[in-house]
Amino acid sequence: MELIDTYGRRITYLRLSVTDRCNLRCRYCMPAAGVEKLGHGDILSYEDLFRIARAAVAVGIEKIRVTGGEPLVRKGIVPFLARLAKLPGLRELVLTTNGFLLPEMAGELRRAGVQRLNVSLDSFRPGTFRAITRGGDVWQVLAGIAAAEAAGFPPPKINMVVMRGVNDDEVLDFARLTIEHPYAVRFIESMPATREKNWQNLTIAGEEILERIGTQFSLEPVGKGSLAGPSRDFRLRGAAGTIGIITALSGHFCADCNRIRVTSTGMAKSCLFSDGGIDLKPFLRCEGSKPLAEALRNLACAKPACHGMSMERAEHRAFAMAAVGG
């Protein structure tokens, strides 16, 4: 079955957040004190999350990205992923993680059927990494990437949120990494998720990042698959891997948007920046899967054309990145 919205976009991709908790506190994502604790009754059970995934696949979703908070901190995540991996009709099961628990979990994630990992890594410098994540150890993430490769995962996508004056002097080092390693390094425009003062001064437009890399290397555009996310990808000439920019604020990839989101509390969102959404809990209490599938179809069809954010307008709507799952 195909899921086409009112703007003719084919919706194939579900971002499913399984928790809003995290073992890090990245300054661009969460307040220092972490997120407010939700009660156990607020977080959907794995059974309910599975029912949502199954209904989504039944209406046309082909790719599920499990995210969070940090998805690997939720107990029981591996058997849940193994169950998702066996969903008939699902073509891709992938996961976004901060990499912290990969040294111990990479093997079981691979065996569960996760096909690919996106790993967040904002700095190679231990001090800068610690400051951005409020306490994280960069060596643990690097060990996690190595463990993922040893477990047989394809080379990871590496997400770097670029912040002026914080880690932007490492952009060329991250780009250079792709010469030898077949990684897909993606430079992400920092979005105003927390109420950080002067967030505009931190955000660097994707085009500026490309220009900086372009002064040192020649870049060739790389095409992308039908189930791909919003990254615009390039290859440094002769490099093993690729670089990409995710221009969440300055760019306009909304015209090609193929995704919907469901939070760990069961709020379905048609856009990352949607204020509201549909609460799926009442549909989960209905008998049979039809009402749930219908709710997801209606949500996808009513996707907005694009978001109302831009650097120029400097509009600042704080939104809970960790709850929505990025």
Ligand X SMILES: Nc1nc2c(ncn2[C@@H]2O[C@H](COP(=O)(O)OP(=O)(O)OP(=O)(O)O)[C@@H](O)[C@H]2O)c(=O)[nH]1
Ligand Y SMILES: C[S@@+](CC[C@H](N)C(=O)[O-])C[C@H]1O[C@@H](n2cnc3c(N)ncnc32)[C@H](O)[C@@H]1O
Taking only Cα atoms into account, the Rg of the chain, rounded to an integer number of angstroms, comes to 19
Q: Which of 230, 241, 266, 277 binds ligand X (CB under 6 A)?
A: 230
The stretch near ligand X (CB under 6 A) out of 41-49, 135-143, 222-230, 282-290 is 222-230
Q: Does 52 bind ligand SF4 (CB under 6 A)?
A: no
State the binding partner of 299 from ligand SF4, ligand X, ligand Y, none, CB within 5 to 8 A by kind.
Answer: none
Of 24 and 57, which has the nearer Cβ to ligand SF4?
Answer: 24
Site for ligand Y in 142-171 (CB under 6 A): 159, 161
Q: Which of 3, 5, 14, 28 binds ligand Y (CB under 6 A)?
A: 28
Q: Does 322 bind ligand SF4 (CB under 6 A)?
A: yes
38 in Cβ contact with 252 (< 8 Å): no
Q: Does 96 bind ligand X (CB under 6 A)?
A: yes
Q: Does 160 bind ligand SF4 (CB under 6 A)?
A: no
Q: Which of 84, 138, 193, 239 binds ligand Y (CB under 6 A)?
A: 193
Of 52 and 219, which has the nearer Cβ to ligand SF4?
Answer: 52
Q: Which of 18, 24, 93, 101 binds ligand SF4 (CB under 6 A)?
A: 24
Q: Which residues of 130-152 are buried (b: 16+ CB within 10 A; e: fewer)?
A: ebbbeebebeebbbbbebbbebe
d(CA 280, CA 177): 42
Output the residue with the shortest Cβ distance to ligand Y: 326
Q: Name residue 137's amino acid.
A: D
State the binding partner of 35 from ligand Y, ligand X, ligand SF4, none, CB within 5 to 8 A by kind.
Answer: none
Q: Which of 12, 17, 19, 98 binds ligand SF4 (CB under 6 A)?
A: 98
Which residue is associated with the tokens 């994502």? 29
d(CA 196, CA 212): 26
Q: Does 234 bind ligand Y (CB under 6 A)?
A: no
Q: Does 166 bind ligand SF4 (CB under 6 A)?
A: no
State the binding partner of 306 from ligand Y, ligand SF4, ligand X, none, CB within 5 to 8 A by kind.
Answer: ligand SF4
| HSE, side-chain direction, 13 A CA sphere, residue 30 | 23
State the binding partner of 77 from ligand Y, ligand X, ligand SF4, none, CB within 5 to 8 A by kind.
Answer: none
Q: How far is the CB of 136 from ligand X (least distance, A)?
A: 17
Q: Which of 11, 35, 185, 191 binds ligand Y (CB under 6 A)?
A: 191
For every residue of 255-309, DSSP letters joined together read: GG--EEEE-TTSEEESSTT-S--EE-HHHHHSSSSHHHHHHHHHHHHT--SS-S-
For every residue of 145-175, DSSP letters joined together read: HHHHHHTTPPPPEEEEEEBTTTTGGGHHHHH
Q: How far apart are the first and last CA of the chain?
A: 27
Phi, psi of 11 (to 5 degrees): -95, 115
d(CA 271, CA 302): 10
The stretch near ligand Y (CB under 6 A) out of 3-11, 34-42, 185-193, 297-305 is 185-193
Closest CA to 178 of 187, 168, 188: 187
